[in-house]
Amino acid sequence: MIGGGTGAFIGAVHRLAANLDGLYELVAGAFSSDAAKSAATGVLLGLAPDRVYGSFQDLIAREKQRPAAERVQVIAIVTPNYLHFEPARLALENGFHVILDKPMTFSLAEAKQLQTVAEASGCLLCLTHTYTGYPMVKEARQLLAANTLGPIRKAYVEYPQGWLSKFEEGGDNKQAAWRTDPARSGVAGAMGDIGTHAFNLLEYVTGLQVVKLCADINTVVAGRQLDDDGAVLLKLNNGASAVLMASQIAAGEENNVKIRVYGDKGGVEWQQADNNTLLVRWLDSPAEIRRTGTGYVGSFAQHNARVPAGHPEGYIEAFANLYRNFALTLQARANGTPATPEMLDFPSISDGVRGMAFIEHVIASGKSTEKWTEFTV
């Protein structure tokens, strides 16, 4: 692991997710740019001192020197945005598979370069768009892919948070400090942090791609350098329209990401606050409530559920599904056997490139006097 030292939120989540199915063992890390802090984290995690490094460069160089049977196989990168590209590039170039936090890079140019590096290396990259890991999100995707609800006409996706309703970056909140800093976060604030999740969820569930957008981007809290609120109109490549909202100044909101998609026969609705439920509405029949862990859900939802219906699964399990599917894919590759579609169901580097394109197009559209911006990658 690179990053994720003591006190870091997402590093601990990655470790929990990796541990859940027993498919990974954490054996090495460069947990901080401060060598002493990295060493202290290694002690807390019970790692051998000679596998705890003071920099990501040292980790990659020294792990590569180890015999193939001993060296790390996958490197998880859980640093702030501006520290994604270089360690990911170096890891891929040296033959290590990568699990990377989102958004993938600091800029679209970096994302494209990283994609080129990955393709040349032959290694795989998994991007941790957590919400695609929920079983009932996968059920919604499979229903729509089968055209069960007819051609998609309309979609709504929203991600409201309230934690930045005040000028939190002015105090000791380290998460707020780097996420609202253009030098560390990039050109976007809320749209980069949670807007990319909403965008990825939209394209994942619908199986469609955005081709055009029109954005209204706002910075509401005085003194803040990046956007903390926004709404986007989108056109999809089948002609359907969609609406995306992402806000970090929706006071009182937590993390209730929500999506609704409508075809000409009916629609689906899912929200994280009740993540074990998928609501399916029909044009001329009673609505259905589908639940995680039941025998009637599709193969993707079944593959990503661990316990029987009525035993709630949540955020950590969804995160772990990305880790598990990535591990199963790598195991299949190592064994020379084909990976199933269910195994291959994790966000890839191409999703990361599209996410960076979304960020740059949204910010450009928000600043432009033109009504619509073409979505190109």
pLDDT 10s digits, 312-364? 999 999 999 999 999 999 999 999 999 999 999 999 999 999 999 999 999 99
DSSP state string for 352-377: HHHHHHHHHHHHHHHH-SSS-EE---
Q: What is the dihedral of CA 91, 22, 271, 79, to 10 degrees?
A: -30
DSSP states of 60-95: HHHHHHS-TTTS-SEEEE-S-GGGSHHHHHHHHHTT
Q: What is the pLDDT of residue 275?
A: 98
- The alpha carbons of the chain give a radius of gyration, in whole angstroms, of 21
3-state secondary structure of 195: helix
Q: How many CA atoms lie within 13 A of 253 on its CB side?
A: 18
**Nearest CA-CA partner of 104 in 366, 351, 282:** 351
Question: Phi, psi at residue 100, to the nearest 5°?
Answer: -130, 135
Which DSSP state fits 193?
I
Q: Are 279 and 288 in contact (CB under 8 A)?
A: yes
Predicted local distance difference test score (pLDDT) of residue 8: 82
pTM of the model: 0.96
User: Which residues of the chain are modeled with pLDDT < 70?
Assistant: none
At 89 the pLDDT is 98
Residue 311: partners with Cβ closer than 8 Å, 6 or more residues away: 293
The DSSP element (H or E) to which 229 belongs, if any, is strand 229-236
Please tell me the predicted confidence (pLDDT) of residue 9. Answer: 85
* 117 contacts: CB under 8 Å, gap ≥ 6: 89, 92, 93
Q: CA–CA separation, 237 vs 233, rounded Å?
A: 14
For residues 323 and 17, is the Cβ–Cβ distance under 8 A? yes
Domains in the chain: ranges and CATH: 9-128 (3.40.50.720), 135-309+348-367 (3.30.360.10)
The whole-number pLDDT of residue 6 equals 85
| Continuous segment of H or E residues that includes residue 207 | none
